Structure 1
Amino acid sequence: MNNDDLSLLPNIEKVLKDRLIEIGIKTAADLRKAGSENAFLALREIDPGACINELMALEGAVQNIRWHHLDETKKQELREFLRLVSPGKK
């Protein structure tokens, strides 16, 4: 395991890691390059049920922190993003 292994990032457990690999995000650098929102949209392509918790987990991983420690402004931005990309939900 090298330092760029996805599983070394906070919030990235085996299931999420496997799904990221499935969409072509194989390393921590790949995730940082894609960004949480783009990675989430790609995940939604293979799992339409992907939710806010996964989006926040991805952002926390990008920032290298537990998602619970994201600042409130970022959490609100992610909620708004999810609302915009979720047709029929308000």
Structure 2
Amino acid sequence: MPRRIEDASVLLLGGHERGGLQDPDVVDSFTVDIESPETVGEFERQEAQKRRDVVDRIAETGANVVVTQMGINSHYQQLLAEHGIMAIRSV
């Protein structure tokens, strides 16, 4: 992840209950029927693809700095870094 950006194009994320780049909280009152280990792997692949899609859309805006009201989880941090986007959280 870049440590310094000049002439930054900044994207501000906030204004809703999450206000950051995090996976949704899991609600305690649900069940998942896992029929095979592949089912778990497929679920994880789908979640990873959703994160990639979000970061790809951010990159398409031309932003090279993302500032969030809340946190940014490590999966999003890694993807942003791969795109050369600086991430600033909890602002």
* Bigger Rg over Cα: 2
| Higher relative contact order, chain-length normalized (CA < 8 Å, sep 6+) | 2
Which of the two has greater helix per residue? Answer: 1
More strand by share: 2
